[in-house]
Structure 1
Amino acid sequence: MTEANSLPPLPDHLSTDPRSPHHVAAVFEHDIGIRFNDKERLDVEEYCISEGWIKVPAGKTVDRRGKPLLIKLKGRVEAFYR
């Protein structure tokens, strides 16, 4: 595993969508995890730690462009490097 000093700091608001202004490519070069209400989630598309929410896909439904529809869940959010 890489040293903690070489890892970029995790932002407060991060999105997996490259078109989003909250997408930080340097963070995705490393394996990150999201803990939501003390349970690790693997399906998080976007999160905001300060506002306390995550966005996850709503089942298999997609919009007209083929992107999954997202729902917002509120709770305690924690981001970390694995």
Structure 2
Amino acid sequence: MPEDQIPDVPPNHLSIDPRSAFYSEEVLRRDVGIRFNGVEKTNVHEYNVAEGWVRVEVPTAKDRRGNPMVVKLNGTVEPYFRRAK
């Protein structure tokens, strides 16, 4: 999709994990910000607006493969693009 036709609204479901079906490098390049329950979150790994949840990193925990552990939190999710194009 040409850059001038990219919508100004982030997708409903997005993940930063390249193995996920909801990963989109084009969207992530535009610098997506997340407000969760009115608070800016910088450690979001995945979100879903329609279902109202985010997966955030637990800072000190790793899984058995060395990946950061994530916790699913429910609430109001507001994605937005930080930089205006």
Question: Does the TM-score normalized on the shorter chain lie above 0.5?
Answer: yes
Do the aligned residues in 2 keep the contact of 1:8 with 1:27 (CA within 8 Å)?
no
Question: So what's the TM-score if we normalise by structure 1?
Answer: 0.87
Do the aligned residues in 1 keep the contact of 2:13 with 2:22 (CA within 8 Å)?
yes
Gaps of 5+ in 2: none
Superimposed CA distance per residue, residues 11-40 of structure 1 (whole angstroms, 9 cap, x where no aligned partner): 111000001001011101111100000111
Computed over aligned residues only, the root mean square deviation of the Cα atoms, in angstroms, reads: 1.9
SS in 2 for 1:54: strand
Using the TM superposition, give the Cα deviation of residue 5 of structure 1 relative to its aligned residue in structure 2, in angstroms: 5.3
- Report the equivalent of 2:10: 10
Equivalent residues, number:
80
- Report the equivalent of 1:30: 30
Provide the identity percentage.
Answer: 44
Runs of 4+ displaced beyond 6 Å: none
Gaps of 5+ in 1: none
Letter in 2 for 1:29: R
Do the aligned residues in 2 keep the contact of 1:49 with 1:78 (CA within 8 Å)?
yes
